[in-house]
Amino acid sequence: MRLLVDTDAFCKLGVGGVFRDAIGLFGADLSECGRLPALPYMLQRGRLRKVFGPKACDAMLPIANKLPVAIQPSDEWLDRLTPFQDIDPGEAQIFASGAEAGLIIVSGDKRALRALKDIAGFANALSGRIVVLEAILLALCDRLGPDEVRKRIQALVALDTVVKVSFSTGNTDPRDALLSYYRELAAELDPLVLWNPRPGGKV
């Protein structure tokens, strides 16, 4: 297993039609991406159907079923997260598993990341391995071209403010806005070091 993907990130990348492209940035396929045990159930009957719609959830379900369940972390890492209300049990499992096993974490939960940055041990254990949506979209724009990404993620525009602003009609190159959002978030989450969408380059 190379990657752990939280539910929010999975759904936004799935609705945007770029989930496979996103994990491809890390040389991973579906069999190497861990997800939370409840994801398929949530796509079938849970709150995700209300947020993203039945059609989108039905389309994402076959992909979710192909992802293995994330490994169960030890209590040593998990117990550090339980006192923090902004980190729900699912995010706690993802963060603890990633820290313990040295895995890349794709997360769409900024509130949880803001809480995580100050918890002992996690900034060091996850340095450079926290991947946010802004970074993925920026890397995909560099790889596929901004016009191609804009075409693919149209269904996501109404569901995410960063995407809506970055890919607005008047914005000819979404990379400038994505880079600005990424830099702002990276500064806010210090000392957590986010994954660099432009390896070897400056962001």
Q: How confident is the model at residue 170 (pLDDT cuts 50, 70, 90)?
A: confident
Q: How confident is the model at residue 147 (pLDDT cuts 50, 70, 90)?
A: very high
Q: Is the pLDDT confidence value at 32 over 70?
A: yes
Reduced 3-state DSSP string for the chain: CCEEECHHHHHHHHHCCCHHHHHHCCCCCHHHEEECCCHHHHHHCCCHHHHHCHHHHHHHHHHHHHCCECCCCCHHHHHHHCCCCCCCHHHHHHHHHHHHHCCEEECCCHHHHHHHCCCCCHHHHCCCCEECHHHHHHHHHHHHCHHHHHHHCHHHHHHCHHHHHHCCCCCCCHHHHHHHHHHHHHHHCCCCCECCCCCCCCC
pTM for the predicted model, two decimal places = 0.95
- Give percent above pLDDT 90 in the chain: 93
Confidence at residue 203, expressed as pLDDT on a 0 to 100 scale: 76
